[in-house]
Amino acid sequence: MGHTIREIATALDAEAAGNLDLVVTHAAEPAAADADALALAMDARYAEGIRQGAARAAMLWQGADWQALGLEAAIFVPRGRLAMAGLSRMLDPGPQIARVVHPMALVDPTAEIGEGAAIGPFVTIGAQVRIGPNARIASHVSIAEGAEIGADALILQGARIGARVRIGDRFICQPGAVIGADGFSFVTPEKSGVEEIRETLGEREEIRQQSWVRIHSLGSVRLGDDVEVGANSTIDRGTIRDTVVGNGTKIDNLVQLGHNVQVGSDCLLCGQVGIAGSARIGNRVVLGGQVGVSDNIFVGDDVIAGGSTKIRTNAPAGRVILGDPAVKMETQIEIQKAMRRLPRLAATVAALQKAVSLKGQSD
Amino acid sequence: MGHTIREIATALDAEAAGNLDLVVTHAAEPAAADADALALAMDARYAEGIRQGAARAAMLWQGADWQALGLEAAIFVPRGRLAMAGLSRMLDPGPQIARVVHPMALVDPTAEIGEGAAIGPFVTIGAQVRIGPNARIASHVSIAEGAEIGADALILQGARIGARVRIGDRFICQPGAVIGADGFSFVTPEKSGVEEIRETLGEREEIRQQSWVRIHSLGSVRLGDDVEVGANSTIDRGTIRDTVVGNGTKIDNLVQLGHNVQVGSDCLLCGQVGIAGSARIGNRVVLGGQVGVSDNIFVGDDVIAGGSTKIRTNAPAGRVILGDPAVKMETQIEIQKAMRRLPRLAATVAALQKAVSLKGQSD
Amino acid sequence: MGHTIREIATALDAEAAGNLDLVVTHAAEPAAADADALALAMDARYAEGIRQGAARAAMLWQGADWQALGLEAAIFVPRGRLAMAGLSRMLDPGPQIARVVHPMALVDPTAEIGEGAAIGPFVTIGAQVRIGPNARIASHVSIAEGAEIGADALILQGARIGARVRIGDRFICQPGAVIGADGFSFVTPEKSGVEEIRETLGEREEIRQQSWVRIHSLGSVRLGDDVEVGANSTIDRGTIRDTVVGNGTKIDNLVQLGHNVQVGSDCLLCGQVGIAGSARIGNRVVLGGQVGVSDNIFVGDDVIAGGSTKIRTNAPAGRVILGDPAVKMETQIEIQKAMRRLPRLAATVAALQKAVSLKGQSD
């Protein structure tokens, strides 16, 4: 089981040279490559690694002198990471899920499962569920009543799809993700301290002893096509309308989307991002790891937020932001520099104050 | 299947007007409402939406002119979100879990399950477990030996209840929550670097190569009545005593409570909050999303902490706090303003310094 | 079922006094101890508690006057928490998992399971999996094809072990952990905004509309001996090479390790820590709760980072760091003090500016 250099080059629409019939079975970092590996050296700084390893073929940067590197064959790619996407898709064996409905899966008789479905053991599929063709559903997954999932879904171990959730085509769901838990929405009989301080920015008149009454989530969750959700991430149902994620948006592990959140298309939400209830995120937004977005605010199209940025107010389209509270990245870098010098600045001011006051006395 | 306006008004103890026999089947945002919907417009700014939608009935703010809005019936509520609590409870179909013990559930013969229990497939219930009446336990849940859960519990897919955990009545547990994992407690044979810097605030004498020895968790977890735990949240067992959460406290998704943590009653812990080991949280405390609480500290009653606040020292009762480290919200807002101006301030000081020193030379 | 004081003292290699045949059945905090408890009072400030409780035996600080405390027997320990490790191991009943392969477990016929294995119900074990002797695998766990796990593993409810993951001996895995999800790695056909701003530190020429193409994870995850992974934590596969965690490293709940991350030996990663892709962490590193580590950076041996520290650049070995961005702890404490005084500092500078300018006019 392997691929010829010719096959790979053709699949990647890339140029190749040398013995195009050479077969490789896997990809490897150059120095760790054995004779059956395709070494990955899409940048000249990895040239040395090729000499240390035993690869006979490599994927190289454009214009590399493959013969001088001692290779028998090479594939040339102008954009290494993009080539990695194609190559890794070819070489990924994918999860082993038999192309049957496992006898230990419980599929409600009213559920409609598309052709070619692979459904693993200990899976539950509820009433009126609809799943498109070629779904691969690993063990322990639960898909609750009325959920609809498009074609070519890959849903991994123990993921939870809630009632009436609707998901587009080519969905990928990592293990343990929970899509369609109830929103976190509670209200007190009288005005609560939180409501009060939102109006007063911190002032409180009187503290009442109150308990929280639950607002149930009547909405559900809607995910577009080509969405991926990471391991143990959680997406809550909306209160009245659905919580929505647009086409092509990718969500990493341990990310939290609150109730009513609207995320646009082609966004990247990195690990441990948290988006509070009713926030709206535009298209092509990138949120680095551990970013937080406050409730009810709007983050414009094409915003990029560095890791751990806390977005507390609306962010205009196209802005690159960083820090807590989020400001333009360049401003934040200035602030950070100034902060590091802050103790010294304070000392300078104290000295100045003394000098000026002495001067005042001596005048 | 629907409700008359009269039924809803009665349930909410609210005034109503118009055709009280009109039947609605669901709630909707005003502009998206169809003729069978109850439009939700509890604030005058949603009036326009009603005209855009097709609703014949609406839940309106007190004093609204329902006839001018073209409605056939209306319910008037003084506090919209509170009315939403009651209305959403009426309209929530709840999860479909058959009122039987599923044949694919494994219930230990020594377990006591209350009357009216619904236990889904692939559930495991261990020895000596006691569950009160009317429990609804969805698929894939595990409840380990000796756990006790009160009446009317709703435990959703794949939640994990550990050994000897005790939980009160009306418990709601979202999918994937883990209650009763082992605490994260390790010790080195000799004093560790962490112990040292806690005493010295950062100074280290000598760095030792040591491995971590595990302290097992002999305590368990105790949750009061009316507690809700969010999806994929984790609550660790105590070391000797139990980790405790008081009555009426609501916990959002991906929240972490460390070993020995004590949380009071009627708190709200929002998404991704982390509370380190042995911290104590008072009653009616609200922690915004991504708040962190250091180990062994105390957060007083009625404290409200804004999103991402890092509470590193005791917080006095009633305080509204923000920032890292947490300070009074108003102080933090001042600090943030000053931080944004900090680069400019530094420039001003540099100019002043030059001016004063020139002056000194010219004197 | 209990232990004599003699047995416990011997196991802990500790001195004891009084009636060494006295039997205790459990450990308790001094004030809450009953007559069958071993009270834990390894510091003189807990002496009062012993008088309040009913314990007849206690584990005490070195040199304590046990008779004056009214005890019948005592064990003396120089390092209380270390003694707790040994004592808690003795008293932990451990999870109840029958020493059989449960008939409702699905073990692939090609899997090799070591002697003495306990495998719970609703467990799936894939093709070619190898598990060492004395494994205890609780309910609902999935172990995918080709995974290898050493001796004496304890894998708790619903944990997910991905394909080809390799794990050493004495592994402890808390419920819901996901080891071996796919990495979060995507590329755009042309240069993305993220790539651009990494070069320009925030400047963007032109915003392109692009979609994300997936880079599959061909690597897996490798964990050393004596590793523990917390509840609902996630460790992603590497892209080409494996994601690696060294011997003796302990990982708390809700921690995220991205693809290609390399963590050394004997580290502690506390709750909600996030380590972005391709970051490398040295040996004996301690990361407090909610710490974030940026992608592709290096954190040196013996670094200790306080809670919520954001490590954005390489951190030298042995450093104690705090803050965002991470600086030396002592520097951060200075910065925090200065920040709190910042509004006052700004006022002082304004006054100075006025004074100097007035002076300039009056000169």
CB contacts, 8 Å: A236 with chain B: 231, 253
Q: What percent of chain C has pLDDT over 90?
A: 87
Contact (CB<8Å) B174/A178 = yes
Q: CA–CA separation, A91 vs B225, rounded Å?
A: 52
Answer yes or no: is pLDDT of C284 > 70: yes
Contact (CB<8Å) B338/C329 = no
Strands (E), A169-294: 172-173, 178-181, 186-187, 213-214, 221-223, 228-229, 234-236, 243-245, 250-251, 256-257, 262-263, 268-269, 274-275, 280-281, 286-287, 292-293
Q: Which of C157, C339, C349 lies closest to B348 in CB terms?
A: C349
Contact (CB<8Å) A360/C355 = yes
Tell me the nearest-neighbour CA distance from A111 into chain C, angstroms: 23
Question: Is domain B3-91 in CATH 3.40.1390.10, yes or no?
Answer: yes
Which residues of A are known catalytic residues?
A: 259
Q: What is the ipTM of this complex?
A: 0.95
A325 preceded by a cis bond (ω within 30 of 0): yes
Contact (CB<8Å) A216/B352 = no
Question: Which of B287, B331, B342, B359 to probe by mutation at the A interface, max A CB count within 10 Å?
Answer: B342
Check residue C21 and give its pLDDT: 97
Looking at the DSSP bridge assignments, the partners of residue C257 are: C235, C275
C-alpha distance across the termini of chain C, in Å:
92
CB contacts, 8 Å: A272 with chain C: 256, 272, 274, 292
Contact (CB<8Å) A140/B138 = no
Centroid of chain to Cα C33: 30
| Residue pLDDT tens, chain A, 363 long | 799 999 999 999 999 999 999 999 999 999 999 999 999 999 999 989 999 999 999 999 999 999 999 999 999 999 999 999 999 999 999 999 989 999 999 999 999 999 999 999 999 999 999 999 999 999 999 999 999 999 999 999 999 999 999 999 999 999 999 999 999 999 999 888 888 888 887 888 778 888 999 999 999 999 999 999 999 999 999 999 999 999 999 999 999 999 999 999 999 999 999 999 999 999 999 999 999 999 999 999 999 999 999 999 999 999 999 999 999 999 999 999 998 888 889 899 999 988 887 766 655
Query: Please, which chains are in contact with A (at least 3 CB pairs closer than 8 A)?
Result: B, C
Looking at the DSSP bridge assignments, the partners of residue B112 are: B130
Comparing A51-60, A64-73, C195-204, C325-334, the range with the smallest average pLDDT is C195-204
**Which CATH fold would you assign to the domain A109-176?**
UDP N-Acetylglucosamine Acyltransferase; domain 1 (2.160.10)
Tell me which of C257 and B361 has the higher pLDDT: C257
Contact (CB<8Å) B193/C304 = yes
Structure tokens at A39: 């070494």
Strand A15-18 and strand A23-24: pairing?
unpaired
Q: CA–CA separation, C306 vs B212, rounded Å?
A: 18
Using CA coordinates, name the residue in chain C closest to B206. C318
Contact (CB<8Å) B320/A158 = no
Q: CA–CA separation, C186 vs A271, rounded Å?
A: 14
Q: Residue C189: phi, psi to the nearest 5? A: -55, -45
Question: Which of B34, B88, B123, B160 to probe by mutation at the A interface, max A CB count within 10 Å?
Answer: B88
Closest C-alpha to A214, from B87, B301, B2, B43: B87
CB contacts, 8 Å: B316 with chain A: none
Check residue A359 and give its pLDDT: 67
CB contacts, 8 Å: B318 with chain A: 204, 207
Q: Which of C160, C184, C201 lies closest to A158 in CB terms?
A: C160
Tell me the nearest-neighbour CA distance from A296 into chain B, angstroms: 13
Tell me the nearest-neighbour CA distance from B196 into chain A, angstroms: 25
Closest C-alpha to C182, from A156, A249, A99: A156
Q: Is B69 helix (H, G, I), strand (E, B) or coil?
A: coil
Q: CA–CA separation, A14 vs B96, rounded Å?
A: 53
Domain(s) labelled CATH 2.160.10.10 in chain C stretch across: 109-176, 217-222+233-358
Using CA coordinates, name the residue in chain C closest to B187. C82
Per annotation, catalytic residue among C3, C102, C140, C259: C259
CB contacts, 8 Å: B203 with chain C: 330
CB contacts, 8 Å: B310 with chain C: 290, 307-308
CB contacts, 8 Å: C190 with chain A: 79
| Residue pLDDT tens, chain B, 363 long | 799 999 999 999 999 999 999 999 999 999 999 999 999 999 999 989 999 999 999 999 999 999 999 999 999 999 999 999 999 999 999 999 989 999 999 999 999 999 999 999 999 999 999 999 999 999 999 999 999 999 999 999 999 999 999 999 999 999 999 999 999 999 999 888 888 888 887 888 778 888 999 999 999 999 999 999 999 999 999 999 999 999 999 999 999 999 999 999 999 999 999 999 999 999 999 999 999 999 999 999 999 999 999 999 999 999 999 999 999 999 999 999 999 889 889 899 999 988 887 766 655
Contact (CB<8Å) A253/C236 = yes
Q: CA–CA separation, A269 vs A290, rounded Å?
A: 9
Asked whether the beta carbons of A166 and A184 are under 8 A apart, the reply is no
Q: CA–CA separation, A344 vs A361, rounded Å?
A: 26
B to C CB pairs, distance under 8 Å: 225
Domain(s) labelled CATH 3.40.1390.10 in chain C stretch across: 3-91
Using CA coordinates, name the residue in chain A closest to B123. A122
Q: Which of B121, B230, B304 lies closest to A181 in CB terms?
A: B230
Using CA coordinates, name the residue in chain A closest to C234. A231
- Other CB atoms closer than 10 Å to residue A209's CB: what's the count? 11
Q: Each residue of A299-311: b (16+ CB within 10 Å) or e? A: bbbbbbbbbbbbb
Show the 3-state SS of C304-332.
EECCCCEECCCECCCCEEECCCCEEHHHH
Tell me the nearest-neighbour CA distance from A45 into chain C, angstroms: 16
Contact (CB<8Å) C122/A140 = yes
Q: CA–CA separation, C154 vs C131, rounded Å?
A: 11
Contact (CB<8Å) A307/C327 = no
Q: CA–CA separation, A178 vs A311, rounded Å?
A: 24
Burial category of A70 from C-beta neighbours within 10 Å (exposed 0-12, middle 13-18, buried 19 and up): exposed
CB contacts, 8 Å: C232 with chain B: 176, 178, 232, 234, 254
Answer yes or no: is pLDDT of C356 > 90: no
Contact (CB<8Å) A239/B120 = no
Structure tokens at A342: 């802050």
Tell me the nearest-neighbour CA distance from B190 into chain A, angstroms: 34
Check residue C361 and give its pLDDT: 62
Question: Which of B139, B324, B328 to probe by mutation at the A interface, max A CB count within 10 Å?
Answer: B139
Active-site residue flag, C26: no
Q: Which of C304, C336, C349 lies closest to B349 in CB terms?
A: C349
Q: Which amino acid is at B181?
A: A
Q: Residue A256: phi, psi to the nearest 5? A: -120, 120
Burial category of B47 from C-beta neighbours within 10 Å (exposed 0-12, middle 13-18, buried 19 and up): middle
Using CA coordinates, name the residue in chain C closest to B343. C346
Q: Residue C2: phi, psi to the nearest 5? A: -175, -175
Using CA coordinates, name the residue in chain C closest to A85. C215
Q: Is A192 helix (H, G, I), strand (E, B) or coil?
A: coil
The distance between the two most distant Cα atoms of chain A, rounded to a whole number of Å, is 97
CATH architecture of C217-222+233-358: 3 Solenoid (2.160)
Length of chain B: 363
Q: CA–CA separation, A320 vs A326, rounded Å?
A: 9
For residue C256, what are the CA distances in angstroms to A167, B232, B300, C171, C264?
26, 13, 31, 18, 16
Check residue A343 and give its pLDDT: 87
Q: Which of C203, C215, C352 lies closest to A353 in CB terms?
A: C352
Closest C-alpha to B164, from B241, B227, B107: B241
Contacts of A340 (CB under 8 A, 6+ apart): C327, C331, C335
- What band does C206 get if pLDDT is binned at 50, 70 and 90? confident
Contact (CB<8Å) C29/B254 = no
CB contacts, 8 Å: B214 with chain C: 85, 88-89, 172, 228, 250
Asked whether the beta carbons of A196 and B70 are under 8 A apart, the reply is no
Check residue B362 and give its pLDDT: 57
Q: CA–CA separation, B238 vs B278, rounded Å?
A: 9
Contacts of A330 (CB under 8 A, 6+ apart): C201, C202, C203
Closest C-alpha to C74, from C61, C90, C92: C61
Check residue C362 and give its pLDDT: 57
Closest C-alpha to C265, from C254, C279, C281, C289: C281
pTM: 0.96
